[in-house]
Amino acid sequence: MRFGLALLAALACATQGRAAEMRVTLLGTGTPTPRLSSFSAATLVEAGSERLVFDLGRGATIRLFQKKIPLGTITAHFLTHLHSDHVVGLPDMWLTGWLGTPYGSRKSPMVIYGPKGTVAMTENLTKAFSEDIRIRIDDEDYPPEGVAFDAHDIEPGLVYERNGVKVTAIEVNHGEKIKPALGYVVEFDGKKVVLSGDTKPDARVEKAAEGADLLIHEVAVIDPELVKTYPAYRAIENHHTAPEDAGRIFAEAKPKLAVYSHIVFASLPPTQDVPEDRLVARTRTTYQGPLVVGHDLMSFVIADKVLAFGPGGEALQPLTGR
């Protein structure tokens, strides 16, 4: 009996220890480029009993399956903006997460927050997939509540507070015609994770990231040769943050760890993988602190320190400057 109590106490301690941590997993570090190695934007943040996913890019379901996390167990989803590389995974997450399988099993409405247009998108998806929904309810007897949406169009400010986790949306500058575009601040037990979303260099991200444990920032490296052949890349470059500017933001905000995700890397010809050396070298002209160039399935545990792990779970040493 005494042993039983001791065991219970130890288990309670372990659970408490876990509850106080935050864990962040990069589900997709890429962009519209259809690379096998980097799916488009999606980030998982686990804190206490909350499992939050930020953006639903291509392949978010595949990466969650790799992590053995059932799609139906995500407590809330958040969109930074409605560019396709941030939402093409939404119908997959929504419908596949509803299936009565070990990887699905959502029985209550899918909770989703995003800028103006998010509610309309969920209504239009429901129309687009009405035949699948009708067939599966009739034929497989799935609960209709599991395929409903609990969707919210949000403004910058506190948007979610549950089980000790606070999510605040901040407005960012992704260009004049892409409004609103949001970044997010996630806080739990004195810890803070900041996601820049897609943005040009923005002082609001820098301010939000002061004292952050983790700042996940987008970045763009575009080959000048490419701009000559495909002028569209000039506009793309103007919607994002150059490595030197990202480095300036890291140097000012001083997060415990800076991480690149949503890495726009465009070259002629296109490459299958993102060569990191140019990205890192350009960042080092303005920032010497700890930096990780994100790859899909890298993860970060935020406790007293911030620990980084590779896609296979191996410990990872962040890069440091001179």
Cβ–Cβ < 8 Å for 244, 286? yes
Cβ–Cβ < 8 Å for 116, 153? yes
**CA R_g for the chain:** 20
Nearer CB in complex with Zn ion: 72/115:
115
**# binding residues, Zn ion (CB under 5 A):** 3
3-state secondary structure of 286: coil
Region binding Zn ion by CB under 5 A among candidate stretches 82-90, 152-160, 161-169, 188-196:
82-90
Q: Which of residues 181-220 bind Zn ion (CB under 5 A)?
A: 198
Tokens (6 digits) for 273: 């993988």
- Decide if residue 85 touches Zn ion (CB under 5 A): yes
The Cα–Cα gap between 124 and 106 comes to 20
3-state secondary structure of 258: strand
Nearest-approach distance from CB 286 to Zn ion, in angstroms? 23
Nearest-approach distance from CB 222 to Zn ion, in angstroms? 14
- Decide if residue 237 touches Zn ion (CB under 5 A): no
Nearest-approach distance from CB 4 to Zn ion, in angstroms? 52
The conformational region for residue 99 under phi > 0 = left, psi -120 to 50 = alpha, else beta, is beta
Nearer CB in complex with Zn ion: 85/237:
85
The Cα–Cα gap between 306 and 51 comes to 19
Region binding Zn ion by CB under 5 A among candidate stretches 60-68, 83-91, 137-145, 286-294:
83-91
- Decide if residue 83 touches Zn ion (CB under 5 A): yes
Q: In which residue are the tokens 């686990």 written? A: 46
Nearer CB in complex with Zn ion: 117/164:
117
Nearest-approach distance from CB 19 to Zn ion, in angstroms? 33
Nearer CB in complex with Zn ion: 30/146:
30
Nearer CB in complex with Zn ion: 195/308:
195
Nearest 5°: CA angle at 241, between 256 and 81?
90
Q: Which residues pair with 51 in a beta bridge?
A: 46
Strand 257-266 vs strand 110-114: parallel, antiparallel, or unpaired? unpaired
Nearest-approach distance from CB 264 to Zn ion, in angstroms? 8
Nearest-approach distance from CB 82 to Zn ion, in angstroms? 9
Site string for Zn ion, 143-182 (x = CB under 5 A): ----------------------------------------
The Cα–Cα gap between 85 and 33 comes to 9
Nearest-approach distance from CB 131 to Zn ion, in angstroms? 30
Instruction: Name the strands in the sheet holding 214-222, side by side, starting at the edge strand that comes first in the sequence.
Output: 157-162, 165-172, 181-188, 191-195, 214-222, 257-266, 291-293
Nearer CB in complex with Zn ion: 46/85:
85
Residue length, the chain? 322
Nearest-approach distance from CB 81 to Zn ion, in angstroms? 6
Nearer CB in complex with Zn ion: 150/153:
153
Nearer CB in complex with Zn ion: 89/146:
89
Region binding Zn ion by CB under 5 A among candidate stretches 85-93, 123-131, 133-141, 184-192:
85-93
Q: Which residues pair with 75 in a beta bridge?
A: none
Q: How far is CA 322 from the centre of its chain?
A: 30
Q: Which residues bind Zn ion (CB under 5 A)?
A: 83, 85, 198
